[in-house]
Homo-oligomer: A and B are copies of this chain.
Amino acid sequence: MKNYITHHPWKIIEEGYHAEHNRISESIFSLGNGKFGQRGNFEEYFSGETLQGNYLGGVYYPDKTRVGWWKNGYPEYFAKVLNAPDWNGIRIKINGEELDPHRLKLTDFVRELNMQDGYFKKTYIAEFTDGKQVKIESKRMLSIVNDELGAIKYSITPLNFSSSVEVLLPIDGNIMNEDANYDEYFWDEIEKSASARAPYLIVETRKTHFRACYAMHYTLEVDGKPQSLTQFDTIEQEKYIAHKTHIELEEGKTSTIYKYAAIVTSRYHENNELKEAASEVLADAKHKGFCKILDDQKAAWADKWNHGDIAVEGDTAAQQGIRYNIFQLNQTYTGKDERLNIGPKGFTGEKYGGSTYWDTEAYLLPFYLSTSEPEVARNLLIYRFKHLQKAIENAEKLGFKDGAALYPMVTMNGEECHNEWEITFEEIHRNGAIAFAIYNYIRYTGDQSYLEEYGLEVLIGISRFWAQRVNFSEEKQKYVMLGVTGPNEYENNVHNNWYTLKMAQWTMQYTKESIEYVKSNIPEEWTRIATKSSFNETEELKKWTDICNNLYLPKDEKRNIFLQQDGFLDKDLRTVNEIPENQKPIHKHWSWDRILRSCYIKQADVLQGLYFLEDQFDTDTIKRNYDFYEPMTVHESSLSACIHSIIAAKLGDEKRSYEFYLSASRLDLDDYNSDSDEGLHITSMGGTWMTVTQGFGGMRIKENKLSFEPFMPEKWKSFAFKINFRGHLLNIKIDKKNVNIENKGNNSLEVLLFGKPHAIAANDSISVNMKH
């Protein structure tokens, strides 16, 4: 754990240059606008430790998987969002010496992410070898208003000299992925011109043939006055263009370079229109200028905060942590394009390849459901609907048939493309989370039409998969499910994982109910869906009913708990307390053999099921299972803490709930797991949001109503969260004494508070004593 970020309610601040943490800082200061993103790399030439990263949403490369011996059913490739051309560069030379922040002596160094307004700022004073001192200030943003535009304002002030300096402004496509499986370059050059009015570079990904066009425009101001830059050299190299010019610096006067980059891709434009599209973006930027672009940015971010802020009083670190999570979630996914999804690291690193995991459905959907317009969450779901055919093909590759759908564990385009057999291959439980997300969406939004439009076909495909994936055990006289990996990835190829079985059973039941609903209410739609799916109503429903009624769900009768999997009780059952501190995290210290055999649990498994299907279980049952499993859980997934925090809150263990929250809320800001250098834990950020709203706020949907059973973390004075519920913008504020709910909608709303109904009139609020 590190502690070098200054606490502030709206800003992320690094004071002083921390060379040893630079890759972490680059992750932390990442920017994104839903369409593209980048790590907080220096504009300057930088000789220190760096992970350069620019990423384009939906632009990926199918890197050949690394596997000893490929087997039938393994993915052919591991898709990764690739490191894309770098358009940030502003390289300064004085007297032939590079302005290299790593090598030169720096003072007054500050990096700062302004979350309220959505930009990244950096200031420092550098001293050159010959004693020349220069003050640098840069501001950078990726516009969320025009989401094909990046803009930098870069100011230089010579403090003790006047001189001509060389400025190099490149767009550089000679980039690689650090984790390329076979050290290949992924980009080919298509076209470029450094001498065009708007210098540009067009590159194309190998194999997938996505094109990206980068064009740039720049202007100069001295002492606030525009200057014309008539003298410049154009440089063209392989996958590289640049302009080189000289500007005259006068002691004490500030020269400012504005660099605008248009980043347009073939995902949104025809190949032959890329150049023009880029020109339009630049024309718009030129017309507006940096100041106006930044103002627009601020306004757009203000709107986002207005819909989804969480405010904490009395704990700046917590406030900063929560806002940072919300900020990064909004940078990563905007819901404008249903072909995009959310990679575990968003646009902040290479790891996990930027692909879609079950994290989206399990840990991210709730945030977007509550803080965005319903279309945003709906688009996250439609992503899977559009992949239904691919999911059917995925299942066929494994030997399933008749429309059974197995969604991939890792995907870019609906095809399975994970990179490791020993964990991912058998994690078929993702199918359950994808089904549950449909239910979750409808439960929250009330948008039943999603079922007939999209959801039901997906549910049928998934239920068919479950029905084929179980087999009847003569020994047990029950249906069993062999060879799976549950959410606890410290197991592999287990039999009868309770969570997977339970979610399978739930899916089949919900699908049956959904068929019943659509059939009764919109019969013509049911006819269409049944025909399209070649649904054999009598046979399939009978089969599902039989399976649901005779499904083996492992249980320990003695302890009266659900059993994570068959044979779990054969393990040497110990608690996490017994692991010596210097052996944690076990995944870094223990062999895979030892981890697999141990009882230790990586993240919620049985408890994940109790979280999803909470309504089916009484509190005592949840408590017994929590008391048994939590002490064996090492929480070595960033997705573990949130579920445990929410369950602890439900069980009244406010202290533990808060402790779990702490370990997740500042995961990246404090580099809790020593891996933030690789990128941010975006999906965990959704979990933190869930912890505050569902854990501390006790927010649920009950009886088709919003319900709250909040508690107040001891260390805080108050906390408040904003949500959007069926057209009502609500602000729920909890302090030591009261819960206050403000309804900013135009209609009244009935909510449950500590189990009791309360009506809140339009544009009114209620206040209820915490002791109710």
Binding site for B on A (CB under 8 A): 65-69, 71-74, 78, 182, 397-399, 418-422, 425-426, 471-476, 480, 482-483, 492-496, 566-567, 569-573, 587-594, 596-597
A422 CA to B471 CA, complexed, in Å? 23
A229 CA to B480 CA, complexed, in Å? 78
Q: Contact between B421 and A421 (Cβ–Cβ < 8 Å)? A: yes
Return A302 CB to nearest CB of chain B, in Å.
41
**What B residues does A480 contact at CB under 8 A?**
570
Residue in B closest to A566 when the chains form the complex, CB atoms: B567
Q: Contact between A492 and B493 (Cβ–Cβ < 8 Å)? A: yes
Q: A72-B587, A473-B569 are in contact. List 5 more A-B contacts (CB 8 A).
A: A67-B420, A72-B592, A471-B572, A482-B597, A483-B593
Residue in B closest to A570 when the chains form the complex, CB atoms: B473
Q: Contact between A597 and B68 (Cβ–Cβ < 8 Å)? A: no
A421 CA to B70 CA, complexed, in Å? 11
Contact of A570 among B71, B421, B482, B594 (CB under 8 A): B482
Residue in B closest to A421 when the chains form the complex, CB atoms: B422
Q: Contact between B471 and A74 (Cβ–Cβ < 8 Å)? A: no
**What B residues does A472 contact at CB under 8 A?**
572
**What B residues does A475 contact at CB under 8 A?**
569-570
A-B contact pairs, 23 of them (CB 8 A): A65-B68, A68-B419, A71-B422, A71-B587, A71-B591, A72-B587, A72-B591, A72-B592, A398-B593, A399-B590, A421-B421, A421-B422, A422-B422, A471-B597, A473-B569, A476-B570, A480-B570, A482-B570, A483-B593, A483-B597, A492-B493, A495-B567, A566-B567
Residue in B closest to A423 when the chains form the complex, CB atoms: B69
**What B residues does A494 contact at CB under 8 A?**
493
Residue in B closest to A556 when the chains form the complex, CB atoms: B475
**What B residues does A65 contact at CB under 8 A?**
68
Q: Contact between A593 and B73 (Cβ–Cβ < 8 Å)? A: yes
Contact of A67 among B68, B74, B571 (CB under 8 A): B68
A483 CA to B480 CA, complexed, in Å? 20
Return A563 CB to nearest CB of chain B, in Å.
10
Question: Which 9 pairs of residues, A with B, have the shortest CB-CB distance?
Answer: A73-B591, A68-B420, A68-B419, A475-B569, A66-B66, A71-B592, A398-B591, A473-B570, A399-B594
**What B residues does A597 contact at CB under 8 A?**
471, 482-483
Return A152 CB to nearest CB of chain B, in Å.
36
Return A209 CB to nearest CB of chain B, in Å.
24
Q: Contact between B399 and A73 (Cβ–Cβ < 8 Å)? A: no
**What B residues does A471 contact at CB under 8 A?**
570-572, 597
Residue in B closest to A478 when the chains form the complex, CB atoms: B570
Return A441 CB to nearest CB of chain B, in Å.
29
Residue in B closest to A64 when the chains form the complex, CB atoms: B66
Residue in B closest to A567 when the chains form the complex, CB atoms: B495
A183 CA to B566 CA, complexed, in Å? 43
A182 CA to B496 CA, complexed, in Å? 39
A496 CA to B492 CA, complexed, in Å? 15
Q: Contact between A589 and B72 (Cβ–Cβ < 8 Å)? A: yes
A421 CA to B474 CA, complexed, in Å? 32
Q: Contact between A474 and B573 (Cβ–Cβ < 8 Å)? A: yes
Residue in B closest to A426 when the chains form the complex, CB atoms: B593
With A493-B596, A597-B483 given, is the CB distance from A421 to B589 under 8 Å? no
**What B residues does A588 contact at CB under 8 A?**
72
Q: Contact between A72 and B590 (Cβ–Cβ < 8 Å)? A: yes
Return A675 CB to nearest CB of chain B, in Å.
13
Q: Contact between A567 and B567 (Cβ–Cβ < 8 Å)? A: yes
Residue in B closest to A558 when the chains form the complex, CB atoms: B475
A717 CA to B142 CA, complexed, in Å? 87
Q: Contact between A420 and B69 (Cβ–Cβ < 8 Å)? A: yes
Which of A66, A397, A496 has its CB near the most chain B CB atoms (within 10 A)?
A: A66
Residue in B closest to A65 when the chains form the complex, CB atoms: B68
**What B residues does A398 contact at CB under 8 A?**
591, 593-594
A587 CA to B587 CA, complexed, in Å? 32
Q: Contact between A495 and B591 (Cβ–Cβ < 8 Å)? A: no
**What B residues does A591 contact at CB under 8 A?**
71-73, 397-399
A419 CA to B476 CA, complexed, in Å? 37
**What B residues does A182 contact at CB under 8 A?**
182
A570 CA to B339 CA, complexed, in Å? 41
**What B residues does A426 contact at CB under 8 A?**
593
Contact of A474 among B71, B74, B567, B569 (CB under 8 A): B569
Contact of A68 among B399, B421, B594 (CB under 8 A): B421
**What B residues does A67 contact at CB under 8 A?**
66-68, 420
Q: Contact between B483 and A418 (Cβ–Cβ < 8 Å)? A: no
**What B residues does A567 contact at CB under 8 A?**
482, 495, 566-567
